Amino acid sequence: MGYGSYSSSTRMLRSSSLGYDTKKAHEIFESTSINNAMSPLNLKVRESRDSVEHPVSIPIVLALDVTGSMGTIPHFLIKNGLPTMMDSIMKKGVADPQVCFMGIGDHECDGAPLQIGQFESSDALLDHWLTKLYMEGGGGGNAGESYLLAWLFAGNYTATDHFEKRNRKGILFTIGDEPTLKKLPGKTQKALLGIGEYVDQSAKALLKKAQDKFEVYHLHMLQGSNGGSQEVQDGWKELLGDNVVMVKRKEEIPEIISGIVLEIAKKQDIKLDTTRFDDLGKN
């Protein structure tokens, strides 16, 4: 996946015509159950591939907590956060980002704790997958949310040219205000993924596997119900060290992500091309 290009002007027109700027969250995110195309059941792979349009595709996973108060973040992204983020990434010279949206819930409590889109480059398809998220709004009074499911997906169900051709890692962001649940039972994996044999796995093991192919970050939202907890913050720092970013306001997310993407692109010796941004809107 990942064909098509991102057009700021086209996206602005579509946002206006569809009312993204004015509609409430429930008017945009209309799904009342998980979209079949985002279900992990019998998932084989999600691909990020190079093309003539995107010769150096960089896979970026945005795993969004869709429980409780965190449901405001997808709404912010569809209104203006996503175009701000994409514009910033491309203005900085990272010309071929391919973004995959995920929805993360609570595998101990929710009916749809894992939702997975496709890696996309075009403004229309990015909006498509983001707005197809089922805002279950669940979660529970347990020990956290299922951010570890994003690591399960990244480590086992992705195939990217960036890794396979260039031996370069993609970038994965989880965004939320809770700790991650520490264990993923084999029976839960079977219920989510379908046919196969599964064993119990720890969050640390799933993280390590994801880190083989992705630079893994967590944006910890201080605004959330558990965001201010020092214990939660310390737990994330123990897991990810400097790859945990404390975020005071959701409006900071686009620049934080674009800054990290640029930093990693430079470390990976990706040739930056700021002229490509001039072509947006000329699809």
| Predicted confidence (pLDDT) per residue in 148-194, tens digit | 999 999 999 999 999 999 999 999 999 999 999 999 999 999 999 99
pTM of the model: 0.95
Question: pLDDT band at residue 282, thresholds of 50, 70 and 90?
Answer: very low
Report the C-alpha gap between 189 and 59 in whole angstroms: 24
pLDDT of residue 278: 52
pLDDT of residue 227: 80
- Asked, for residue 182, whether it belongs to a domain, the answer is yes
Q: Residue 250 phi/psi, 5° resolution?
A: -60, -25
| Beta strands at 58-65 and 97-104: parallel, antiparallel or unpaired | parallel
Percent of the chain clearing pLDDT 70 (strictly above): 96
Report the C-alpha gap between 246 and 222 in whole angstroms: 7
124 and 14 in contact (C-beta within 8 Å)?
A: yes
- Asked, for residue 3, whether it belongs to a domain, the answer is no
| Predicted confidence (pLDDT) per residue in 72-117, tens digit | 999 999 999 999 999 999 999 999 999 999 999 999 999 999 999 9
- Asked, for residue 59, whether it belongs to a domain, the answer is yes
Q: Residue 120 phi/psi, 5° resolution?
A: -135, 155
Q: How many domains does the chain have?
A: 1
pLDDT of residue 2: 63
> Mean pLDDT, to the nearest integer, of 230-247?
96
pLDDT of residue 280: 45
CATH code for position 83: 3.40.50.410
pLDDT of residue 281: 42
Question: pLDDT band at residue 229, thresholds of 50, 70 and 90?
Answer: confident
Residues 6+ apart with CB under 8 A from 48: 1, 2, 57, 58, 59, 98, 100, 119, 158, 159, 160, 161, 162, 170
pLDDT at 228 over 90: no
| Predicted confidence (pLDDT) per residue in 20-73, tens digit | 999 999 999 999 999 999 999 999 999 999 999 999 999 999 999 999 879 899
| Predicted confidence (pLDDT) per residue in 131-152, tens digit | 999 999 988 778 899 999 999 9
Report the C-alpha gap between 98 and 55 in whole angstroms: 11
Mind giving me the DSSP string for 60-71? EEEEEE-SGGGG
> Mean pLDDT, to the nearest integer, of 241-259?
97
- Asked, for residue 2, whether it belongs to a domain, the answer is no
10 and 283 in contact (C-beta within 8 Å)?
A: yes
Report the C-alpha gap between 174 and 180 in whole angstroms: 10
Residue 23: CB atoms within 10 Å:
14
Residues 6+ apart with CB under 8 A from 121: 2, 3, 4, 5, 6, 53, 54, 57, 96, 97, 98, 99
> Mean pLDDT, to the nearest integer, of 209-219?
98
- What is the C-alpha end-to-end distance of the chain, expressed in Å? 18
> Mean pLDDT, to the nearest integer, of 238-257?
97
Q: Residue 174 phi/psi, 5° resolution?
A: -100, 145
DSSP letter (8 states) at residue 34: -
Residue 162: CB atoms within 10 Å:
24
Question: pLDDT band at residue 1, thresholds of 50, 70 and 90?
Answer: low
Residue 19: CB atoms within 10 Å:
11
Number of H helices, E strands in the chain: 11, 10
pLDDT of residue 283: 39
Compute the chain's Rg from CA coordinates: 18
- Asked, for residue 174, whether it belongs to a domain, the answer is yes
Domain that holds residue 130: 8-279
